[in-house]
Amino acid sequence: MSTPVVPVGPDSVAPVGPDSVAPVGPDSTAVLHRLRRAQGQLAGVISMLESGRECRDVVTQLAAVSRALNRAGFKLLSGELRHCLLHEQDDSCTERLTEDQLEKLFLTLA
- Reported as a single tens digit per residue, the pLDDT across 97-108 is 778 888 888 888
Amino acid (one-letter) located at 104? K
Q: Is the pLDDT of residue 2 over 70?
A: no
Whether 4 is covered by a domain: the verdict is: no
> Considering the domain boundaries, does residue 94 fall inside one?
no
Q: What pLDDT does residue 86 have?
A: 73
Asked if residue 15 is part of any domain, the answer here is no
81: left (phi over 0), alpha (psi -120 to 50) or beta: alpha
**What's the pLDDT score for residue 25?**
53
**Domain presence at residue 14:** no
Tally of structural domains, the chain: 1
Residue 3 lies in a domain: no
What pLDDT, in 10s, does the model give residues 49-79? 999 999 999 999 999 999 999 999 988 888 8
CATH code assigned at 64? 1.20.58.1000
Residue 96 covered by a domain: no
- Note down the domain range covering 80: 26-85
77 occurs within a structural domain: yes
Report yes or no on 80 lying in a domain.
yes
**What value, to the nearest 5°, has the Cα angle with vertex 107 and ends 73 and 101?**
90
Q: What's the start-to-end Cα distance of the chain, in Å? A: 38
